[in-house]
Amino acid sequence: MSDLVSKSTRTFGRRQGRPIKDTKQQLMDELFPTISIELPEVDYLINPDIYFDQKAPVWFEVGFGGGEHIAQLAVQHPDINFIGCEPFMNGVASLVNHIQEQHISNIRIFQGNALDVLKSFNHECLSRFYLMFADPWPKKRHHKRRFIQNDILNLVIPKLMLNAEFRLATDHESYQQWMVQHLRNRTDLKEVLCTFDKPTDWPNTRYEAKAIEEGRKPLYLIFQRVQ
Ligand SMILES: C[S@@+](CC[C@H](N)C(=O)[O-])C[C@H]1O[C@@H](n2cnc3c(N)ncnc32)[C@H](O)[C@@H]1O
């Protein structure tokens, strides 16, 4: 694995912001341990099915923020298993709260770097992959921290099943161009959608709402694994 992937854990910044309220802390102490993902200590590959009660296709979200997107998807698709990854404690507590309030049983959470999870998964085990409003790292010297780049795509794409969708959105103009260019360059992906008109089956996220309120136009992309 490249240096870039192994060093990426350092690039998150703060893992906790505001103190977590008592009610959410109670959920973190009681519900979270029952739905959080533990990775194998030894170096072998696992199938994500082991984390769920039902056998079903697995959809994966990197950086779910407050978790509103993955929670809504999970309610709309009870016959899908969801894995969400987010290092930020307040975001994890927010998703655990959605899970409790909406009686969701088909989400599992990894609090940490999505790349660590992906590294431990079998190839061709994910049916859909979401990257919503990833950190844009606007400064040129930080571009190497962007999630979309060849080293990371070389890790992610083999985990997708054939025809699985890779769905992305970003409001950041230079990252929009960067994403499109990197994804179009790949022979293992086919472009399905590239639009500023949001598809109707796509739940909102907190960052998206903020971006639109501040006058930025998110770009929505769907690519499909073809080989
Ligand atoms: C700009 S925020 C967007 C949050 C959310 N997707 C939304 O649209 O509201 C990006 C999020 O991705 C998370 N993140 C960045 N790199 C990640 C990684 N490698 N694995 C998991 N989460 C990551 C950050 O902690 C942050 O919460």
Kindly state the average pLDDT of the residues 94-122.
Answer: 97
Per the prediction, the chain carries an average pLDDT of 92
Q: What pLDDT is stored for residue 23 in this prediction?
A: 84
Give residue for tokens 């407050």: 66
Query: What does the pLDDT look like over 8-37, one tens digit per residue?
Result: 444 555 566 778 888 888 999 999 999 999
Query: Has 206 been labeled as part of a binding site?
Result: yes
Q: Which is the catalytic residue, given 49, 135, 151, 188? A: 135
Q: What pLDDT is stored for residue 21 in this prediction?
A: 82
Query: Has 154 been labeled as part of a binding site?
Result: no
Q: What pLDDT is stored for residue 149 in this prediction?
A: 95
Give residue for tokens 């985990």: 159
29 and 52 in contact (C-beta within 8 Å)?
Answer: no
Question: What's the burial of 118, exposed, middle or buried (CB within 10 Å: 0-12/13-18/19+)?
Answer: buried
Q: What pLDDT is stored for residue 42 in this prediction?
A: 81
Q: How far is the CA of 197 from the centre of ligand 1 (A)?
A: 22
Query: What is the identity of the amino acid at 74?
Result: A
Q: How far is the CA of 226 from the centre of ligand 1 (A)?
A: 26
Kindly state the average pLDDT of the residues 201-213.
Answer: 96
Q: Does the beta carbon of 65 sit less than 6 angstroms from any atom of ligand 1?
A: yes
What CATH number does the domain containing 211 carry?
A: 3.40.50.150
Query: Lowest-pLDDT range, 5-9, 128-132, 141-145, 184-188?
Result: 5-9
159 closest CA partner among 125, 114, 187, 120: 125
What is the spatial distance between Cα 49 and Cα 125, in angstroms, rounded to a whole number?
9
Query: What does the pLDDT look like over 80-89, one tens digit per residue?
Result: 999 999 999 9
Q: Tell me, yes or no, if 151 is annotated catalytic.
A: no
Task: Tell me which residue range forms the domain holding 116.
Answer: 3-225
What's CA 34's distance to the chain center, in Å? Answer: 20
- For the record, the structure tokens of 209 come out as 């709402």
pLDDT at 119 over 90: yes
Provide the domain count of the chain. Answer: 1
